[in-house]
């Protein structure tokens, strides 16, 4: 996998995803800001969210067997922002103050509105998220997904859906903001792989706009 060279400060960096950009229909765009939240603030926000979010253990039926999702999750948002993921319809929990404040700050930074956030708690490196695209119909055709990471840094992989040589690996550090937009969800899959040596937890928040 290719490792992005991400040596920069506060600037938002746009990552060049690959040669498929010659396809005029595609407008894949991933931006990364490593220090969107400064270190000390990120620790405080992590602590607040660990305690205040109503974390849930969800399960999935795979080949006739019920399996626990390998992380804790919670779905917050405006009343109408219902979302089907992991095979279930999720009704949002009303916004709590720290999530609402982060949403406003990220909206101002990214220049897009969000009405919901999917919260994931990776308790340690055994927790993970498999290959997928955020391409559910509720998100519309080319969603803007703003992903804030807090706590333990974790690897994040991207691979093109049809061009096997196009793949990227990056590290999502505490306080970083990753934005996926344009046709990225049409053309790419992403995952957070297991890293079993990791013992510390990470929170990830993906702000989304559900079309209602
Ligand atoms: O934890 C992450 O960085 C990715 C989360 C994700 O892919 C998702 O919520 O769809």
Q: Is residue 4 part of a domain?
A: no
Ligand 1, atom 10, residue with closest C-alpha: 134
190: which 2 tokens?
């992403």
> Is the minimum distance from the CB of 206 to ligand 1 under 6 angstroms?
yes
Q: Is residue 35 part of a domain?
A: yes
21: which 2 tokens?
């950009």
| Ligand 1 atom with least separation from CA of 178 | 3
Q: Which domain holds residue 204?
A: 12-208
Pocket test for ligand 1, best of 58, 71, 129 (most atoms within 8 A of CB): 129
| Strand-pair category, 2-3 with 167-172 | parallel
Percentage with pLDDT > 90 across the chain: 83
| Ligand 1 atom with least separation from CA of 204 | 1
Nearest to 143 by CA among 113, 105, 102: 113
**CA 136 to CA 141: how far, in whole Å?**
9
Percentage with pLDDT > 70 across the chain: 90
Q: Is residue 6 part of a domain?
A: no
Q: How confident is the model at residue 3 (pLDDT cuts 50, 70, 90)?
A: very low
Higher pLDDT, 22 or 49: 49
CATH assignment at residue 147: 2.60.120.590
pLDDT at 9: 35
pLDDT, one tens digit per residue, over 76-115 is 999 999 998 877 899 999 999 999 999 999 999 999 999 9
Ligand 1, atom 4, residue with closest C-alpha: 192
Q: Is residue 3 part of a domain?
A: no
Q: Is 135 exposed, middle or buried (0-12, 13-18, 19+ CB in 10 A)?
A: middle
Check whether 8 has a pLDDT greater than 50: no
Q: Is residue 60 part of a domain?
A: yes
Are the C-beta atoms of 71 and 58 separated by less than 8 Å?
A: no
Q: Is residue 5 part of a domain?
A: no
Domains in the chain, number: 1
**Residues in Cβ contact with 151 at an 8 Å cutoff, skipping those fewer than 6 apart:** 42, 46, 174, 200, 201, 202, 203
Q: Is residue 102 part of a domain?
A: yes
Q: Is residue 88 part of a domain?
A: yes
Check whether 16 has a pLDDT greater than 80: no
pLDDT, one tens digit per residue, over 170-197 is 999 999 999 999 999 999 999 999 999 9
Nearest to 184 by CA among 202, 157, 163, 158: 158
Nearest to 11 by CA among 39, 33, 38: 33
Check whether 13 has a pLDDT greater than 80: no
Q: What is the DSSP string of 20-60?
A: GGGSTT--EEEEEETTSS-HHHHHHHHHHHHHHS--B--EE
| Ligand 1 atom with least separation from CA of 202 | 1
């Amino acid at each position: 996998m290719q490792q992005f060279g991400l040596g920069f400060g506060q600037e938002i960096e746009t990552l060049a995803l690959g040669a498929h950009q010659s396809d005029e229909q595609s407008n894949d765009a991933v931006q990364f800001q490593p220090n969107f939240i400064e270190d000390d603030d990120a620790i405080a926000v992590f602590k607040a969210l660990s305690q205040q979010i109503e974390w849930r253990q969800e399960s999935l039926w795979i080949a006739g067997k019920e399996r626990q999702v390998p992380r804790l999750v919670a779905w917050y948002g405006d009343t109408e922002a219902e979302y089907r993921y992991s095979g279930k319809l999720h009704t949002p929990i009303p916004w709590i103050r720290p999530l609402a404040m982060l949403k406003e700050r990220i909206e101002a930074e990214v220049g897009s509105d969000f009405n919901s956030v999917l919260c994931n708690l990776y308790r340690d490196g055994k927790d993970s998220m498999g290959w997928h695209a955020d391409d559910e119909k509720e998100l519309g055709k080319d969603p803007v997904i703003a992903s804030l990471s807090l706590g333990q840094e974790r690897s994040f992989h991207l691979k093109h859906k049809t061009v096997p040589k196009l793949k990227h690996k990056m590290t999502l550090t505490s306080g970083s903001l990753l934005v996926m937009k344009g046709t990225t969800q049409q053309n790419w899959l992403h995952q957070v792989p297991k890293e079993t040596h990791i013992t510390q937890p990470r929170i990830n928040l993906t702000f989304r706009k559900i079309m209602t």
